[in-house]
Amino acid sequence: MTNLDPSSGSLRQSAPKKPVILVAEDEAPLMTLLRYNLEKEGYRALEAHDGDEALMVAAEDTPDLVLLDWMLPKVSGIEVCRRLRGRAETRNVPIIMLTARGEEADRVRGLDTGADDYITKPFSMTELLARIRAVMRRIRPALAEDIVSFGEVTIDRSAHRVKRGDKDIHLGPTEYRLLDHFLQHPGRVFSREQLLDAVWGSGVYVDARTVDVHIGRLRKALNEPGQLDPIRTVRSAGYALDESFKV
Ligand code: CA
């Protein structure tokens, strides 16, 4: 194929892709302000003015991050958050809740639902942009990479392959998703319920002990007898990747 117009096609495609931020906010002046600042910062902003629209837009064009107002018409921010976490495509997309509520219980509830961070209105644009950069830095590197390693365990997402050292590890689909989820958040402790939400999806009813069964299978597949276990059981809390395994 010939390409006579240098402004189109391959040249344009080689420009770095701008991170996409979905802004779900029903206050028009705040939306305008957010959009202006995000675009100035080099992001592409997608707008949603209620909860339904947020879910629709996120399904059409998976964002890299979501700014989610707590109080949204139609479907509440917290419900949007829960549903985004329940979909495979948006399960790991960072979500920052924008909330007018400052009470501790609400913050905890927001984070329980799967938000990565929250910011209380009114907030300064400088603070919000700093939070966005921090969340992007924390979450994007592992997501952007096809090949991610933790110690001698390596996952190749494009080939759907897992290795420990030179040895190929064969995992079932659930064990694969569990491992991938851990590798995206090294060191972070997940409760069984959080793992169920992240790996099985929040709409599914599965007994929390099912997680233990699949963790057991994952360990069995990863570890030869006598080898260090990369997965740490955190008593009465859940599971995490063992940071000491990385060294
Ligand atoms: Ca609102």
Instruction: Judge if 73 and 172 occupy the same domain.
Output: no
* Residues 109 and 179 occupy one common structural domain: no
CATH number of the domain residue 72 falls in:
3.40.50.2300
Pick from 111, 142, 173: which residue ends a domain? 142
134 and 169 in a single domain? The answer is no
* Residue 245 alpha carbon to ligand 1 centre in Å: 44
Global model pTM greater than 0.85: no
Most confident option among 121-135, 161-175, 202-216: 161-175
Quote the number of domains for the chain: 2
Q: What is the pLDDT of residue 185?
A: 76
148-158, pLDDT tens digit by residue? 889 999 998 87
Q: How many CB atoms lie within 10 A of CB 54?
A: 30
133 and 156 co-located in one domain: no
Cα 70 to averaged position of ligand 1 atoms, centre (Å): 6
What backbone phi and psi angles, to 5 degrees, belong to 137? -65, -40
Q: How far is the CA of 71 from the centre of ligand 1 (A)?
A: 4
- Residues 130, 24: one domain? yes
How confident is residue 213, by pLDDT bands cut at 50, 70 and 90? very high
CA of 168 from ligand 1 middle (Å) equals 50
Burial status of residue 24 (CB atoms within 10 A of its CB: 0-12, 13-18, 19 or more): buried
**Which residue range forms the structural domain that includes residue 55?**
20-142
Is the model's pLDDT at 145 over the cut of 90?
no
Question: 77 CA to middle of ligand 1, Å?
Answer: 9
| Token duo for residue 155 | 């996952």
Mark which of 123, 142, 161 sits at the end of a domain: 142
The Cα 181–Cα 227 span in angstroms is 22
Tens digit of pLDDT for each residue in 13-69?
334 457 889 999 999 999 999 999 999 998 999 999 999 999 999 998 888 899 999
CATH number at 236 reads: 1.10.10.10
Ligand 1 center–CA 89 separation, angstroms: 25
How much distance in Å is there from the Cα of 40 to the middle of ligand 1? 23
Task: Give the length of the chain.
Answer: 247
